[in-house]
Structure 1
């Protein structure tokens, strides 16, 4: 374990200047907590977020969740299209940041940007590193059936999520947790951990622990195609999909020629003959579908352009009988 660069100081007298870098709602919640807690010890002097994106049918542009929050608090904000430019680096350095605090910014930061922080560039990652490095750690933890997850505060290096760890905080993954509920929990946990790390930085007490590369695992950006259900998978794995992809991109399948979104499901324990995967083996009291291993009880579904309803009501409205087949 080593002290954080550039040196181990017993005390940093002045209020720390922080530049926050982030984009989605999870990052916005962390920023909000930092703004609320700022005072004599530190202050958020600037924000960097992704450029405004088209939204809605009119294709007007809207700021990211972080950009909108920064605007409400009147925090100077940069929204660079490209970050590897002298112009952006100059604008960033003008803030004279002591710390860069990064949470789901969405880009790999080059050394020139990392070096702009006087004390350290730190990242809030929503997993217990080195497990689940990369873009989708929350989804990956649910899909893997992990009993716990958490947040890691680490120093950023030029390799993805590979920097030395400052601190970690963990929580249990409950049986009903979805991507959405875990993001809310981890945003709060991440904010607590960041505030603790800032306090350590202010006292010159950040300590680095290298990650164990031998047990590192990686995740990829989730795409809509990842949420298409393969009914030859186990009922356990498909149930995890429904939670990992809620609220986006939502686990999905086809019934006839129509797409059906599967919002909630539970592993069923009925005995019986093994039908081909995707077969609806019963419809009452709620539909049960044969999987590659085990069976899945569908609880809440949604047809394209319709509201979410109980799976029983959906199949009753469609007049679907046992023996019908989900899948392509």
Structure 2
């Protein structure tokens, strides 16, 4: 089947590679977001998907307005039978959706209709879900609401960060997307409408929303930090410093009582109080420095007893 692949970040790469290597399909072009500033110098860099496509000799389309009549006409000239989507990063309107005869098929990293939106993996971890997965579905103009072709499931492990879980889903989801497209090409798959019940929304998480709220219970704090690791990254204010945090632990040997945001450092550990039990800090990153062991940093910083995390 003649395909255009739409995707931008690294989690889209397993799907792109699988489809390029498939004897059943021909990826005639890749659609991705425009080059974005990266690194300290802010130099525009191609997306991971763009780099992979260029390395494979596949044309790359980077429209700033993908729903514009000009780009719709450009895509139509490529005559794709179907468009495959994995984390492209822009809403697709009716004109664009009408181009391929067999539509646009999206790989979404949740078990729809749960966690529609931009951050399904983060939302599942933060909510304490035990199971998540990936879904292939036909794109409609409304958000992640189209009929479903297939799913794969994945257990959320107790220490999973969003990065850990997304890496596994990207791999299992690539196999699901490939199988789905094979079925669409053979006309052996028919999508089924999503259930009306169980809809939840997972909007993009902002940097401000990744700030740790120490007044919440320890288990909630622990999950929320894992949910935003590595991106956008959990952080807190300690005195005058904005400090980035790695995952924390709810420890059985924690101090008996610390008020929310209070810091306690002993010989082996650094603790911060929450709305319930204290949590043990793992690694943190002060401004302008690399990740380091939290207790080593706390000793070197010689924190005043009145300094709190907030």
The two structures share one fold, judged by TM-score above 0.5: yes
SS of equivalent to 1:157: coil
Greater relative contact order (CA < 8 Å, ≥ 6 in sequence): 1
1:291 aligns with 2:277: no
Q: What's the offset of the Cα at 1:120? A: 2.6
Q: What's the offset of the Cα at 1:271? A: 6.8
**1:1-328 superposed matches below 5 A:** 16-36=1-21, 38-39=22-23, 41-270=24-253, 274-320=257-303, 323-328=305-310
Aligned residues of 1:89 and 1:112 also touching (Cα < 8 A): yes
Structure 2 alignment gaps of length 5 or more: none
SS of equivalent to 1:134: coil
* Deviations 1:205-240 (CA, angstroms, capped at 9, x unpaired): 112221123210001111110111111011111111
- Normalised by the size of structure 1, how large is the TM-score? 0.90
Pairs aligned (count):
310
SS of equivalent to 1:218: coil
Aligned residues of 1:24 and 1:64 also touching (Cα < 8 A): yes
Q: What's the offset of the Cα at 1:95? A: 1.5
SS of equivalent to 2:150: strand
Q: What's the offset of the Cα at 1:19? A: 0.6
Cα distance in 1 between the residues matched to 2:120 and 2:188: 28
SS of equivalent to 1:264: coil
The range that moved more, 261-270 or 150-159, is 261-270
The range that moved more, 281-290 or 135-144, is 281-290
Aligned residues of 1:21 and 1:102 also touching (Cα < 8 A): yes
C-alpha RMSD of matched pairs (Å): 1.6
SS of equivalent to 2:197: helix
SS of equivalent to 2:17: helix
Cα distance in 2 between the residues matched to 1:161 and 1:51: 23
Q: Closer, same or farther in 2 for the Cα pair 1:284/1:88, shift >3 Å? A: same
Cα distance in 1 between the residues matched to 2:254 and 2:233: 28
Aligned residues of 1:143 and 1:244 also touching (Cα < 8 A): yes
Cα distance in 1 between the residues matched to 2:295 and 2:254: 20
Structure 1 alignment gaps of length 5 or more: 1-15
Aligned match of 1:13: none
Q: Closer, same or farther in 2 for the Cα pair 1:154/1:289, shift >3 Å? A: same
Larger strand proportion, structure 1 or 2?
Answer: 1
- Normalised by the size of structure 2, how large is the TM-score? 0.95
Cα distance in 1 between the residues matched to 2:256 and 2:162: 34
